[in-house]
Structure 1
Amino acid sequence: MISWGIVAACMALVNGPGTFNTVRLVLGAAEAGFTPGIIFYLSQWFPNQHRGRAMGTFYVGAALATVIGAPLSGLILQFSHGWFDIQGWRWLFILEAVPAVVLGIVVLKYFTDKPREAKWLPEANRTWLVKTLEIEKSAAEGLRTFTIGSALRSPGVILLAIFFFLYSFNSIGLTLWMPQVIQGTFGHPDALTTSMLTAIPYVFAVIFMIINGRSADKRGRRDLHMAIPMALAGVLLLGSVAAGPTVLGFALLSVSTGFAWSAVPAMWSTATAFMTGIAAAAGVALINATANIAGVLVPPLVGELKEATGSFNWPLIVIAAAMLLAAVVALISARYTKEGLITKQAALVETALVD
């Protein structure tokens, strides 16, 4: 986070394609480890039956960053232009980089690697948490032990990577092009209005992630908590295309975005439930890295389709198709992520705790 923030602030210094591409490449390298790192970190702290809510809360932060950050960015652009003879877009990078650096330093000072080191937890809570996690790990390894190599070759990991890649058509492709979609729908509003409208889909994402994460922990069958939201996201996005650049079309797009985002916590809970230790870290990294490929492919694809057709209809149809295919992949993945064994593992943990 510290290096990410420093490099993000350096985006304010770019003065042409060469420096832009160089700093952006370094920025991608700085941020690449954050998501797999935090997913693995959460798996070391939250038992499986609580992990959906934990992952959901983490991704709520990502959605809230857009809900709060988009209007905030519009205000910074509007009011910071000319401060100390520096353009507003440069201030945008500088000011929004500061929290990452500050919070990174806070993490180094106050976070601990493992629950047993958390002096801020009451001793009884710490003892329960450490025991629960140890029993859960033993139960998982008793069902199957993964090495780094077997984790990277696991059909379950590969299918989850494909799922996350397809989901990224929405999270990357649609998110980056959202302002243009909004401007085409609402007649080219100003930057502040556009940024406020951009926040609306992610309000739905916040709500749906909390609901779906809690439901996945309570009811199990995380494959369904991945598949059903993605299927709904695809259908609603197709409905948005049919409705056209209207308020109804934007409303359907917004709800679709919320459903798509809500599937991700269930996916990460699954990924960290059937593997443990360094194998889980490697599997999470592979899943995240595969999704990053979408970051290279999807934005240009959306742009090319938009230029070729003169509208966002075909890009949205392609994204909707990716969502529907992701739902199918989620259902297939249940066989290989050992959904039934995860349930059995939970029963073993409960029995051991009672004993």
Structure 2
Amino acid sequence: MTDIDDATGSLPATDASAVGLDAHLVVNHGTFHLDVALTAAPGDVVALLGPNGAGKTTALRVLAGLTPLTGGHLRLDGVALDRTPPESRPVGVVFQDYLLFPHLSALDNIAFGPRCHGASKAEARAQAAEWLDRMGLADHAGAKPRRLSGGQAQRVALARALATHPRLLLLDEPLAALDARTRLDVRAQLRRHLADFEAVAVLVTHDPLDAMVLADRLVVIEHGRVVQEGTPSDIARHPRTDYIAQLVGLNLYKGLAEGHTVQLDSGPAITTTEDLTGPAFVAFPPGAVTLHRDRPTGSSARNLWHCEVTGLETHGDQIRADLTGELPLAADLTTVAAAELDLHPGAPVWAAVKAAQTHAYPA
């Protein structure tokens, strides 16, 4: 429910054009400071990404009304929610551990929200039955949470949040508790449900694939501040911090560009195909790196560095080599190539990258 004006007994006046989320979340808590601006239109799915301790969960708790603002503002569809208690906000929450009521059936878990919003028991259960059918769980209406699989419990939790027709849906690591196979299936189902959701959805996740698949826009937070935001493709192509580069699987460097050369702040120069002047980032995927045990002759690669293997690990169906030396970087190669090169920690190698496989852009 939305706030009722105490003086008039009516809903607060709203600007018909001011729909969606308009928030400036400022929280000062001891040594931690959060200062994050978030805007989203109805139908938008925004993912909050960031390392542990970045402030993602704090931002979600502020939106839910569980942590108070110490500054800024929070408006939803033009209505200020800064001082609105959690139970009175038009907000639905899907928690990481689902937090279903263990003593209630799947049907009654979903019916709980409509009942709290004034629906009769029969009306609430009828709405819950519709949601169960929509989630493909009609045959599990009478099941208690302990009898549901992780994927089924996640869908019940999502239905419970949506059954109140929230204007803001908050999803806190909604797929984190699922095994890999279930995660794949539930992610696809969640994508369909979010595509049909007509209000604002905010997703907190550590998984870049969840964010890329589910969200229209990514907001990356580090140390309580937004360091980058944009579409998933923009973020993937133009990372601006080491965390984001690791998240999307790129080697990232910063330096000063002059023509087709970027002189790194700390390290060698990198030749690129882009023609730039001034501060610039250079990125390339680990798969663009070719490794040699001896200095290659006749190679067309414009970039060549002498390195040493510091670690090897399985990465999907390939081996990822972590290198240090003239240029610290990550390189991906097949298990056959790793064996033929006799790679091991401490092994000296030459790393080559063609200019055409780098991507430079203004910093």
Considering Cα pairs closer than 8 Å and 6+ residues apart, tell me whether 1 or 2 has the greater RCO. 1
- Judging by fraction of residues, say which structure has more strand: 2
Structure-1-length-normalised TM-score = 0.22
Structure-2-length-normalised TM-score = 0.22
